Structure 1
Amino acid sequence: MNDAAPGNQDRAGDSPSRRSVLRTTAGAAGAAGLGLGALGGTAAAAGTEGPETTAAPPRQGPTMAGVPFERRSTVRVGIVGLGNRGDSMLDPFLAVPGVRVVAVCDPVKAKTERAAAKVVAAGRPSPAVYANGENDYEHLCERGDVDLVYVATPWDVHFAMARTAMLNGKHVGVECPVAMRLDELWELVDLSERTRRHCMQLENCCYGRNEMRVLRMAHAGKFGELLHGAGAYNHDLRGLMFSPTYYEGPWRRLWHTRLRGDLYPNHGFGPVANYMDVNRGDRAVSISSFGTPALGLAEYRAANVPPGDPSWKETYVASDRTISMVQTARGRVIRLEHDVSTPHPYSRINSLGGTKGVFEDYPARIYVEPDHTDDRWADFSSYAGEFDHWLWKEHADPPGGHGGMDYIMVYRLTQCMRLGLVPDFDVYDAATWTAPVPLSHASVKAKGAPQRIPDFTRGEWRRARSGVDSVKPG
């Protein structure tokens, strides 16, 4: 087993230098017309003004589909961002065997100190601390003893951090969304192929117990030929977005002043894309999005925020509810919803339907023939014994947040790294699941006009391959 820094060599041969990747990537982006400037309020600025902007640029290196990690005995992790999400995810990284947190980074020094103390309290060596300004993450990425950089920062800097990690020879896992612009998604795809480093959207909802059970049932044919699915992020975040302490500044609320569409599609899109083998036999080809007026945040501010608060200078444009319809190459339909600005019980919808029946979540219920014939919803838990994923059978009561799926995700990712396996999802999935961010904005502005979703795989989607419905390692 090899614990050497992974930036030196892999199955594809020597990794290119950071300088050569920067130079070649910049040239390719310019040639493909992807230097789109700052993201503004127009479809053109979002990189979606016409079909030419979604055409696949020339491949920058061999595909990363099906490329395994380098085998190693210990996975050495650097964590960038120690706010609510980063701090909570430190726990599963410390709980999973064979993982060592070697470095932590956040511009707020107190957060790095708390994280370092947590690592030591878990009986591990004290990690290196990077708290010297907004760009100190670059020094963490330069370390020779980091195998995986985990990014849990505000969305604005996800792209830059993922890019820096790969340029320094590190695999990188990024919280949702992986980037905010179409040209940035393409650059991450190109960099992953050139550097031979994996760039993964760490979508924890793909590892939910219900999601993994539905996935295995779909692959076993329980729903017949798949026809439609739906996913969402409907979560009342008004109080948190206006809280002076929950987020480090107003960064999340400010995105509601910039984009009109679905700001957070991954939780809903990722699981349904897995059910339908998107990028593994099918692909998402277009999206049409429709948005309501943007009223919820302003009404909440009027009722709850005192005059003189800086938020009173903000004008909100993001639709309170965005509804998007995604069409796949095989003719299937995926409905996506996003609503964090109005009162609503939490729901990711999480539904799947086919020629033999349907599953719907929140609450979980199922109706599939020939098991059910009375036109009444049935108990989904009755399928646990036969169809629960081996990860949930092996870890029936996982620790950590979000019902244990955070732990399952970290366990599986680091297991793949230790054993030298192919990751359950890759940069093509990250780009596909995030593409609705800029594309839904463009579609809403164009009154629902369809936007082409790029084929980030450049044709690899036609090849069936494994994903989250994995086989337990021997």
Structure 2
Amino acid sequence: MKRRDFLTAGAALLGSALLAPSAFGASRERVRVGMIGTGMRGQVLLQELLRRDDVEVAALCDIEPIMLGKALAQVEKFGKPRPATFGEDGDKHAYRRLLDGAKVKGGKLDAVIIATPWEWHAQMSIEAMQAKVPVGCEVVAGVTLQDHWDVLNAQLKSGTPYMLLENVCFRRDVMAVLQMVRSGLFGELVHLQGGYQHDLRAVKFNNGDPAKPYGSGLEFGAKGWSEARWRTEHSVRRNGELYPSHGIGPCAMYTNINRGNRFTRINAFATKARGLHDYITKQPGGAQHPSAKTEFRLGDVVTTTLACENGETILLQHDTSLPRPYSLGFRVQGTDGLWMDVNHSIHIEGKSKPHQWEDFQAYQDKYDHPLWRKYASRAEGAGHGGMDFFVIHAFIEALKAEAPMPIDIYDAVTWSAITPLSEQSIAQNFQTLDFPDFTNGQWRTRKPIFAL
């Protein structure tokens, strides 16, 4: 089968999966969903659930009473029935009672959204799948490489649906570029780039006041609040590509990873760690603050390179500790041209003027993805420029239709395992490592229906 025919067939199949779920024989019109983790990210996803008439939010779980209270206020604002709540007693395992369903109106849930700190994702996902509760998990499927094998094995053994809630795969320009890739506009793909380039210094430190979660102080850990309470610690003790899925998700879609292609090799390099310390000491009184004595392991810029079975290379960069404007740094380059999101530009040989960029907007309009054409108005006001509507929409529609998850267990563990593998590469003097085949050879025959 020619590459272009293969891609076109995959796109057609995918369209039937998400635009016409009745093709799979939809078995229900409404789903009952619970949420574990109602912090700031959880509340954004909760809003998307509450906006839907085909979703009943039946249960909420969080051990922070303030956040649980804010989530309940959201429910009340939307005029929806009050859900069962768990975790008010501070029990870190209260989510197990939510999964059990005994104290949830209507019994066991149809699905659960997990939006907790990263270190809980694997354990909670595994227990949910063992309880036969389908999982929509926020990004980072696990922390250690073993976590990823354990999550995969739990899904394969239980057969319970699992979706990684990677919203950037649904960004409007990203999906338009997918259409361009599948139409052959770039020719044969050769090299791709992406990453997580986002100044998080004010996210990683605050004064512990729930009303001021960003940039209000220099505390982290037990004295911090929200992400400063848990996320900063990863920068203290880990060095690697800590947040790969925003960048690798779209690149994996473009190159059909796990569906006719796979990652074969990986290596990673890290710079020195200076940014977080400098941020602390430049604040008033920061040089005398206890946080100034912290030694951070995370390199300010981590560069990870992946080799693919079909000959492409993919470069990821993690850059969260230095001053910079937000960018995911996408680049999709093939034999006929390339797109880069940093300058919102495209160059196609034979169409663009030689050696000159064109503005991307006209191409985005022409290749706008059918999902955006159909649902753009419903996505207005949703988090992250509408992306959060689409990622929740994909999860809910797949549940209702009993269809394959568009970002499934193999995608989840493959994308997320870049983190522990990059840590291993850096720790071993930037060694190049074999990338594990989580599909056990199935990548050769799996079809690219996941490509949204």
Change (3 A) 1:163 1:310: farther
Q: For structure 1, which segment, 232-241 or 366-375, has the greater mean C-alpha deviation from structure 2 after superposition?
A: 366-375
Return the match for 1:214 from 158, 171, 177. 177
SS in 2 for 1:331: coil
Return the match for 2:337 from 357, 365, 370. 357
Return the match for 2:93 from 135, 143, 155. 135
Offset, 1:453 = 1.4
TM-score of the aligned structures, taking structure 2 as reference length? 0.86
Going by fraction, where is helix more abundant, 1 or 2? 2
Distance 2:255 2:247 in 1: 13
Change (3 A) 1:99 1:222: same
Distance 1:252 1:276 in 2: 31
Give 1:140's aligned amino acid: L
TM-score of the aligned structures, taking structure 1 as reference length? 0.82
SS in 1 for 2:358: coil
1:368-447 aligned within 5 A: 368-397=348-377, 398=379, 399-447=381-429
Offset, 1:310 = 5.1
Give 2:359's aligned amino acid: D
* Structure 1, unpaired ranges of 5+: 1-67
Give 1:386's aligned amino acid: K
Distance 2:287 2:384 in 1: 36
Give 2:207's aligned amino acid: P
Distance 1:69 1:343 in 2: 50
Distance 2:451 2:289 in 1: 48
Summarize deviations over 1:206-227 as a string: whole Å, max 9, x none: 0000111111111111111111
Q: 1:193 aligned to 2:172?
A: no
Distance 2:292 2:28 in 1: 52
Give 2:307's aligned amino acid: Q
Distance 2:25 2:145 in 1: 27
Return the match for 2:27 from 68, 71, 77. 71
Change (3 A) 1:168 1:211: same
Check whether the contact 1:358–1:368 (CA below 8 A) recurs between aligned residues: yes
Check whether the contact 1:320–1:339 (CA below 8 A) recurs between aligned residues: yes
Identity %: 35
2:63 equivalent in structure 1: 107
Check whether the contact 1:69–1:416 (CA below 8 A) recurs between aligned residues: no
1:86 equivalent in structure 2: 42
Distance 1:426 1:114 in 2: 31
2:216 equivalent in structure 1: none
SS in 1 for 2:277: helix
Give 1:457's aligned amino acid: T
Give 1:159's aligned amino acid: A
Offset, 1:468 = 4.1
1:58-457 aligned within 5 A: 71-131=27-87, 132=89, 133-143=91-101, 144-245=107-208, 246=213, 247-248=225-226, 249-304=228-283, 306=286, 309=289, 311-312=291-292, 314-397=294-377, 398=379, 399-457=381-439
Summarize deviations over 1:24-72 as a string: whole Å, max 9, x none: xxxxxxxxxxxxxxxxxxxxxxxxxxxxxxxxxxxxxxxxxxxx89832
Distance 1:115 1:203 in 2: 22
Distance 1:218 1:320 in 2: 32
Distance 1:452 1:69 in 2: 40
Distance 2:339 2:386 in 1: 22
* Runs of 4+ deviating beyond 6 Å: none
Summarize deviations over 1:254-306 as a string: whole Å, max 9, x none: 10122111111110011100010001110011111011001111111122264
Check whether the contact 2:163–2:406 (CA below 8 A) recurs between aligned residues: no
SS in 2 for 1:458: coil
Offset, 1:313 = 5.0
Check whether the contact 1:206–1:468 (CA below 8 A) recurs between aligned residues: no
Give 2:155's aligned amino acid: S
Give 1:278's aligned amino acid: I
Distance 2:137 2:279 in 1: 31
SS in 2 for 1:177: coil
* Structure 2, unpaired ranges of 5+: 1-23, 102-106, 214-224
2:11 equivalent in structure 1: none
Check whether the contact 2:99–2:108 (CA below 8 A) recurs between aligned residues: no
Check whether the contact 1:80–1:104 (CA below 8 A) recurs between aligned residues: yes
Offset, 1:451 = 1.6
Give 1:127's aligned amino acid: P
SS in 2 for 1:78: strand
Give 1:117's aligned amino acid: A
Check whether the contact 2:75–2:81 (CA below 8 A) recurs between aligned residues: yes
Give 2:436's aligned amino acid: P
How well do the aligned residues superpose, as a CA RMSD in angstroms?
A: 1.7
Q: For structure 1, which segment, 100-109 or 410-419, has the greater mean C-alpha deviation from structure 2 after superposition?
A: 410-419
Offset, 1:464 = 4.2
Offset, 1:419 = 2.1
Summarize deviations over 1:400-446 as a string: whole Å, max 9, x none: 11110001111122112112222211111000111111111111122
SS in 2 for 1:396: helix
Q: Number of aligned pairs? A: 403
Give 1:296's aligned amino acid: G
1:13 equivalent in structure 2: none
Distance 1:72 1:228 in 2: 42
Q: For structure 1, which segment, 129-138 or 317-326, has the greater mean C-alpha deviation from structure 2 after superposition?
A: 129-138
Check whether the contact 1:69–1:423 (CA below 8 A) recurs between aligned residues: no
Distance 1:91 1:168 in 2: 26
Check whether the contact 1:274–1:467 (CA below 8 A) recurs between aligned residues: no
Distance 1:224 1:151 in 2: 39
Check whether the contact 1:188–1:199 (CA below 8 A) recurs between aligned residues: no
SS in 2 for 1:316: coil
Distance 2:450 2:46 in 1: 23
Give 1:431's aligned amino acid: V
